[in-house]
């Protein structure tokens, strides 16, 4: 397929960028032998525009934009099947996380089919950063009101059902030492920004 030269970074650079953005020891991506075990194992492969394997091939080819525009990693459910099955012990799930972060940093995810995922994540961590705990009701409602006002009705019904069964709070809980948590998270973000490794830690 025709790829404009501009879209193609020097192969090794992008691979290096991805590796650097993946913490937790050597992610071993450079060992990939393109066997497809990941793509074969993935429960949501059907929804992905590229199978993980293809995505890796694109990374090796240095096709940065195409990779970061892909919806593949947004459909990753982090079930770790690919990771434990990979014959080369590539940390695939972690790489998917890394790609999500890079895509967000580059603002490219919006073009991917799964524009909502990051939004949902944002709403989620909003609560975590303000309360220290997640908050299902707020999470679900706020997220859905924002992104599908219509679908939200259904969601609210679901929420009500949860509430009826005593499975949901109407108000979020806040941890005691929120100040400490905020300090930690802010410092962490600062470090991450300074580091400029696409959040590779």
Nearer to other proteins, 5 or 176 (CB): 176
Q: Which residues, in sequence order, are CB contacts of 109 under 8 Å at separation 6+?
A: 68, 69, 74, 100, 103, 115, 117, 118
Nearer to other proteins, 110 or 167 (CB): 167
Nearer to other proteins, 33 or 153 (CB): 33
CB of 3 to other proteins, least distance (A): 16
Q: Which two tokens stand for residue 142?
A: 């706020």
Q: How far is the CB of 136 from other proteins (least distance, A)?
A: 6
Of the pair 9, 181, the CB lying nearest other proteins is at 181
**CB 89, min distance to other proteins, A:** 5
DSSP 93-111: HHHHHHHHHHHHHTT-GGG
Runs of H (alpha helix) within the chain: 11-20, 37-41, 52-60, 64-69, 81-85, 92-105, 116-131, 136-147, 149-164, 178-195
Task: List C-alpha distances in Å: 197 to 20, 26, 59, 71, 185.
Answer: 6, 15, 16, 21, 17
- CB 39, min distance to other proteins, A: 3
Closest separation in Å from C-beta 145 to other proteins: 13
Q: Which is nearer to other proteins, 61 or 134 (CB)?
A: 134
Are 67 and 99 contacting, i.e. CB atoms less than 8 angstroms apart? Answer: yes
């Amino acid at each position: 397929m025709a790829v404009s030269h501009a879209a193609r970074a020097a192969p090794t650079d992008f691979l290096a960028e991805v590796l650097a953005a993946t913490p937790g020891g050597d992610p071993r991506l450079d060992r990939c032998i393109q066997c497809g075990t990941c793509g074969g194992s993935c429960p949501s492969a059907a929804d992905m525009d590229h199978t993980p394997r293809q995505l890796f091939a694109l990374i090796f080819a240095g096709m940065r934009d195409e990779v970061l525009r892909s919806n593949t990693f947004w459909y990753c459910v982090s079930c770790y099947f690919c990771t434990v099955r990979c014959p080369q012990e590539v940390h695939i799930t972690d790489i998917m996380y890394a790609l999500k972060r890079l895509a967000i940093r580059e603002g490219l995810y919006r073009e991917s089919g799964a524009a909502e995922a990051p939004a949902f994540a944002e709403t989620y961590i909003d609560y975590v950063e303000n309360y220290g705990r997640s908050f299902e009701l707020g999470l679900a409602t706020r997220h859905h009101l924002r992104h599908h006002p219509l679908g939200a009705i259904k969601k609210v019904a679901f929420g009500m059902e949860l509430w009826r069964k005593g499975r949901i709070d109407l108000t979020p809980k806040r941890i005691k030492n929120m100040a400490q948590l905020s300090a930690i998270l802010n410092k962490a973000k600062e470090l991450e920004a300074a580091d400029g490794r696409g959040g590779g830690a």
